[in-house]
Amino acid sequence: MDPEDSINVLGTDLIVCGMDPVTGFFRDGHCNTCAADQGSHTVCAVMTAEFLAFSKYVGNDLSTPRPEFNFAGLNPGDSWCLCAARFLQAHDEGCAPKVSLEATHQRALDIVSLEVLRENAA
């Protein structure tokens, strides 16, 4: 299971999204993806309290520690590779987190327009 080309939405090399905590479908700090990544964890987002509350409300609790999955829980300010569809849902609801364009994989563009990503750029 190899990641697809590590290119960001700007057409340049994908940079690290987050190492503390380590994020990404491959848990390598990058928002790389592959065919097995059905959620398209490609949007590098900086967590906010508002987004974390929204995500929990819609059924994806990212803030509660889950030691059984070696997951400490996210806090505002943490960078995390979000599912592109969840990011778009948050955008549509007015609570999207900020995005690192340089660390957002080009495959995010299959779901989220570059215009929407730029509107939310960090």
pLDDT in tens, 13-22: 999 999 999 9
Res. 116: pLDDT tops 90: yes
CA distances 64 to 24, 71, 78, 101, Å, are 18, 9, 14, 27
70-100 tens-digit pLDDT: 889 999 999 999 999 999 999 999 999 999 9
As a whole number of angstroms, the distance between CA 104 and CA 122 comes to 12
Other Cβ atoms less than 10 A from the Cβ of 20: the count is 9
Q: What is the mean pLDDT of residues 104-109?
A: 97
Cis peptide before 21 (omega within 30 of 0): yes
Computed on alpha carbons and rounded to an integer, the radius of gyration of the chain in Å comes to 13
What pLDDT is attached to residue 103?
Answer: 98
Res. 37: pLDDT tops 70: yes
Is-above-0.85 flag for pTM? yes
